[in-house]
Amino acid sequence: MFELTARDPPSLARAGTLRLAHGEVATPAFVPLATKGSVRTLAPREVAALGYQMVLGNTFHLLLAPGPQLIERFGSLHEFMRWRGPIITDSGGFQVFSMGHGNVADEIKGRGREGVRPGGATARRAGQRARPGPSRGQAGAILQIAERGVRFRSPIDGRELVLEPETSMAVQAALGSDIALTLDECTPFHVTRDYTARSTERTHRWLQRCLRWHERHGPPGQAVYGIVQGGVERDLRLQSAAAVAASGAHGIAVGGTLGREKAQMYEVVGWVTRELERLAPERPRHLLGIGEVDDLIAGVELGIDTFDCAMPTRLARHGVALVPRPAERWRVDLLKSRWRAAAEPVLDGCRCPTCREGFSRAYLHHLLKVGEPTAGRLLTVHNLSFIAALMADLRSAIVAGRLAEAAGALRAGARPGEALRAA
Amino acid sequence: MFELTARDPPSLARAGTLRLAHGEVATPAFVPLATKGSVRTLAPREVAALGYQMVLGNTFHLLLAPGPQLIERFGSLHEFMRWRGPIITDSGGFQVFSMGHGNVADEIKGRGREGVRPGGATARRAGQRARPGPSRGQAGAILQIAERGVRFRSPIDGRELVLEPETSMAVQAALGSDIALTLDECTPFHVTRDYTARSTERTHRWLQRCLRWHERHGPPGQAVYGIVQGGVERDLRLQSAAAVAASGAHGIAVGGTLGREKAQMYEVVGWVTRELERLAPERPRHLLGIGEVDDLIAGVELGIDTFDCAMPTRLARHGVALVPRPAERWRVDLLKSRWRAAAEPVLDGCRCPTCREGFSRAYLHHLLKVGEPTAGRLLTVHNLSFIAALMADLRSAIVAGRLAEAAGALRAGARPGEALRAA
């Protein structure tokens, strides 16, 4: 299901094609979130027109509403949301554990002393640390966590629900996704090594249960990715990579905390991908929840094939546009009053529909200030277009054997779509 | 600027073409609201693609933010919002008086006893009585109302602002709209005849001041519509129609309360349009704030050329789709749980982008329930498309001399776009 077409040593980068039940995905690729069955503010046809071939649906959210039975009645999530291409579904683990990881830690460690943040927030997803708005739909509560799985209260209607490895796979089977992820516990950063070790082992046992269920009941053509955990402990990460590689999962996702800062994140990802180069070089690799511009470039250099992240779309809805300004984290906040009268577009020369139409920063600033919903839409279009052009640059560069130059140009502020020309 | 191309007696209906500074508008036509500079959830190009040739900007809201100076710097509202076609701007009177009509009535009547509703809400716009959501941006306060104009506190930042006939025209000149409306007091329903009479006379004096200002300072090519007031009093409406017709305004708008129910609304509108048939048959007529399906049909029969209303777009954002079900007010509320599993589209056979894409009612219900912004957008597209098809039917029917049949078919539940075929 994965064909590698190019490599660009000495980096670990690869270009390839995922051949999935609903179509192909050229990699490396970014996967926009359709968490609850829609890429926010966009219709599926528009997402495809921006150059995307796959989106990510969320098992936890779709389990809560509208429920897998309903979606199954429509055939699959593709039919339900009218997205014709491939869909990857998250396992729901991240979301359910995010509702109160304190409890989980308490349970395993026998009442937590340290290591878990007060709010119980986990940090599997580096992109979310910078989330500008409040998280929604995660006000439920974990009732019990055990070897079998997690029992929790729905944040929507208070129902008691259970998420076990088999449940997660059954939901993903009902959704009919092209790629299902196995259920994992997303280990937070601030836990002890011992906690991480025990949690990672349980994740491996859950992986086995997921694969067993899928072997018997999984829909034909659905690929399964196992998830590498192990926190920021090198030996645990290597063990986890080996466990997932040995499991026979079709692909391998990297999850869990990736550390406190980007340097550590790249180090942790590098441990895993170098080990996978040895153990399972031909299998596709997904990096969960990472999508800042510099992380995408670094992730590709480290041999990651696909990424998903809320960042480009969430930032857009909060008025932040992506621009080639590395010193400003590739961001410009159009809500800032300095743009009040700015006639310039979001990005000069950008070929996205928003910039081509000639909307000024002043106009977008105005729409954002008065709360007009068109603003979030126009910026979502720009940001997703920016990321699509970035990934296309990286793909072309790998094929041309010029990734180092392209990455250098992008890190120096080249506009996506022009990295190779600028290099 | 207005060419009548067809009539269809015995109704008062006409078809024609408005030739405005930024292009032509085939009438009768519905004008979608771009109150604060955008048709909510849509980009201008998308509004045009749905068949619309003109949008309506709001002087009050654009005066508050981003302010006329800023928009003028961009050339005009067209350039600022990137809408290439004609724009009509409301005078701001309706919005400023809506902030607290109680005060106005008190001032004129020497402390109000009856006639003004407790909340101070006025009912110029029949469509708004059914508004499903809370009104926004109207939490300011009127500080003083006098012959000169209105002094009020900005609901955005508390600034004291003044709206006088000259201010309104100056703002509309800065916006560079194709059609400016003169400042009027929107007389509410629950006031005495005496109050309505005095208010209407003041509106006529304001009309004169607006026209004088426009003569000297108005932008070249900008048309001005005067507004007929007079409440539900036949003689006052006729006097007002005569005053506006005599004023030399390029076009004539019908504003103020149109009564308590639809039958009375049609009666009041008919008084005015029949009088205008006598006094100014060639001048275009706009009905302010009316846009329910049956009102559009009746308004066209009564000789109205253009309409604006928040209804189609506002309903969409609240989950209500327009469908050819006259007995249900042409509405279906997709938030209702009966659509939870409905595979049918919003409207079978509808040619709008939302229905053609095959989104089910169940999918839209789900998106609405979980608050996904794509829902409002998909329904806005459907509702505006529905109204565009309805108006196109009415135009064709007038030209074919078959309005009675088409109107009959539509009132019997024909799908817009098929009224003549169904007739």
pLDDT digits (tens, 9 = 90+) for A160-178: 999 999 999 999 999 999 9
On whether both A285 and A363 belong to a single domain, the answer is: no
Give yes or no for a contact between A160 and A151, defined as CB atoms under 8 angstroms apart. Answer: yes
On whether both B259 and B331 belong to a single domain, the answer is: no
Whether pLDDT at A84 is above 90: yes
SS3 A24: strand
Residue from B90, B184, B295, B305 carrying the catalytic annotation: B90
The whole-angstrom separation of Cα B69 and Cα B77 is 11
Residue A156 lies in a domain: no
Task: Identify the CATH number of the domain in which residue B303 sits.
Answer: 3.20.20.105
Task: Find the CB nearest B372 among A38, A370, A378.
Answer: A38
- Position A82 confidence tier, pLDDT thresholds 50, 70, 90: very high
On whether both B166 and B288 belong to a single domain, the answer is: yes
Kindly determine whether residue A44 and residue B357, on different chains, have CB atoms separated by under 8 Å: yes
The whole-angstrom separation of Cα B171 and Cα B168 is 5
Q: Are strands A150-153 and A141-145 parallel, antiparallel or unpaired?
A: antiparallel
Average confidence (pLDDT) over A268-294: 98
Residue-level pLDDT at A144: 85
Residue B370 lies in a domain: yes
**Using CB atoms within 10 A of its CB, is residue A242 exposed (0-12), middle (13-18) or buried (19+)?**
middle
Residue B58 lies in a domain: yes
Return the residue of A nearest to B378 by Cα.
A43
The whole-angstrom separation of Cα A154 and Cα B347 is 33
Kindly determine whether residue B374 and residue A38, on different chains, have CB atoms separated by under 8 Å: yes
Kindly determine whether residue B82 and residue A357, on different chains, have CB atoms separated by under 8 Å: yes
Return the residue of B nearest to A75 by Cα.
B343
**Structural domain span for residue A414:** 318-422
Q: In terms of Cα–Cα distance, which of B408, B411, B398 is closest to B12?
A: B398
Residue-level pLDDT at B167: 96
Q: Are strands B251-254 and B285-287 parallel, antiparallel or unpaired?
A: parallel
The whole-angstrom separation of Cα B398 and Cα A142 is 65
Tell me the angle at which helices A373-399 and A293-301 cross, rounded to the nearest 10 degrees. 20
Residue from A8, A90, A295, A393 carrying the catalytic annotation: A90
On whether both A267 and A349 belong to a single domain, the answer is: no
Domain termination residue (choose one: B309, B331, B364): B309
Task: Find the CB nearest B357 among A82, A358, A362.
Answer: A82
Task: Find the CB nearest B42 among A45, A136, A374.
Answer: A374
Instruction: Enumerate the residues of chain A whose CB falls inside 8 A of the CB of residue B358.
Output: 82
On whether both B187 and B335 belong to a single domain, the answer is: no
Return the residue of A nearest to B77 by Cα.
A363
To the query of whether residue A348 is one of the catalytic residues in this protein, the response is no
Summarize pLDDT for A358-400 with one digit per residue, the tens.
999 999 999 999 999 999 999 999 999 999 999 999 999 999 9
Tell me how many domains chain A contains: 2
On whether both A74 and A197 belong to a single domain, the answer is: yes
Kindly determine whether residue A372 and residue B81, on different chains, have CB atoms separated by under 8 Å: no
Residue-level pLDDT at A105: 40
The whole-angstrom separation of Cα B47 and Cα B24 is 15
Q: Are strands B306-308 and B29-31 parallel, antiparallel or unpaired?
A: parallel
Residue-level pLDDT at B139: 62
On whether both A283 and A189 belong to a single domain, the answer is: yes
Domain termination residue (choose one: B257, B290, B309): B309
Give yes or no for a contact between B41 and A374, defined as CB atoms under 8 angstroms apart. Answer: yes
Kindly determine whether residue B45 and residue A372, on different chains, have CB atoms separated by under 8 Å: no
To the query of whether residue A308 is one of the catalytic residues in this protein, the response is yes
Residue A112 lies in a domain: no
Within 10 A of A132 (CB to CB), how many other CB atoms are there? 13
What share of chain A has pLDDT > 70, as a percent? 91
On whether both A178 and A324 belong to a single domain, the answer is: no
Domain termination residue (choose one: A286, A309, A332): A309
On whether both B280 and B326 belong to a single domain, the answer is: no
On whether both B276 and B372 belong to a single domain, the answer is: no
On whether both B301 and B363 belong to a single domain, the answer is: no
Residue-level pLDDT at B400: 97
**Strand runs (DSSP E) across B55-175, as ranges?**
55-58, 87-90, 141-145, 150-153, 160-163
H-only helix segments in B29-82: 44-49, 59-64, 68-73, 77-81
Place of tokens 């799908």: B415
Residue from B8, B184, B305, B308 carrying the catalytic annotation: B308
H-only helix segments in B130-229: 165-175, 193-217
Summarize pLDDT for A248-280 with one digit per residue, the tens.
999 999 998 788 899 999 999 999 999 999 999
Residue B112 lies in a domain: yes
- Position A118 confidence tier, pLDDT thresholds 50, 70, 90: very low
- Give residue B216's Cα distance to chain centre: 28
Mean pLDDT per 10-residue segment, chain B (423 residues): 97 98 98 98 98 97 96 98 98 86 41 28 34 44 90 90 96 98 88 93 97 98 97 97 98 90 96 98 97 98 98 98 98 98 98 97 98 98 98 98 98 95 84
Kindly determine whether residue B40 and residue A73, on different chains, have CB atoms separated by under 8 Å: no
Residue B155 lies in a domain: yes
Residue A199 lies in a domain: yes
On whether both B259 and B352 belong to a single domain, the answer is: no
pTM beyond cutoff 0.90 = yes
DSSP code for B148? S
Residue-level pLDDT at B135: 38
Structure-block tokens of residue B46: 């998308």
Average confidence (pLDDT) over A82-92: 97
Residue B314 lies in a domain: no
Whether pLDDT at A112 is above 80: no
